[in-house]
């Protein structure tokens, strides 16, 4: 079960890389106003949701590990806002810099919550 948890954490981090990497690829488009929601963002955000929920299941049921419910709920709410922004705008020809900035900041905020909330 611990190996499964480790694999899920690896995939969880791959999801962060895709989401944040997608945001970074669009930074140069801020100058031309051609910012788009790229597939790496939508797939990364979905990966975060699926692996995050699976981790909760494995930690709770499989490993009997106590999780901080407030921390997990905070991460879930922040990710749901990210999901609304990326899925809601995925077909748009361009999005505003504010949408891109909000997705990036919320992703970094969730990394801070994951690492600093003890």
Residue numbers at the binding site for ligand HEM (CB under 6 A): 5, 9, 12, 16, 48-49, 52-53, 55-56, 59, 67, 72, 75-76, 79, 82, 107, 110-111, 114-115
Burial 55-92 (b: 16+ CB within 10 A, else e): bbebbeeeeeeeeeeeebebbeeebeebbebbeebeee
Q: Which residue's Cβ has the minimum distance to ligand HEM?
A: 52
Minimum gap (Å) between residue 24 Cβ and ligand HEM: 14
Tell me the H-state helices in the chain. Answer: 2-25, 39-57, 69-88, 97-116
Contact 41, 19 (CB under 8 A): yes
Residue 14 or 49 with smaller CB distance to ligand HEM: 49
Minimum gap (Å) between residue 94 Cβ and ligand HEM: 23
Minimum gap (Å) between residue 73 Cβ and ligand HEM: 8
């Amino acid at each position: 079960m611990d190996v499964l948890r480790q694999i899920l954490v690896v995939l969880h981090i791959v999801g962060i890389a895709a989401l944040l990497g997608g945001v970074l690829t669009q930074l140069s488009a801020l100058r031309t106003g051609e910012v788009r929601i790229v597939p790496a963002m939508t797939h990364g955000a979905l990966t975060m949701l699926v692996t995050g929920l699976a981790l909760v299941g494995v930690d709770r049921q499989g490993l009997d590990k106590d999780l901080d419910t407030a921390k997990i709920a905070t991460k879930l709410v922040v990710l749901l806002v990210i999901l609304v922004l990326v899925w809601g705008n995925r077909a748009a020809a361009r999005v505003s810099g504010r949408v891109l900035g909000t997705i990036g900041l919320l992703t970094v905020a969730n990394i801070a919550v994951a690492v600093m909330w003890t």
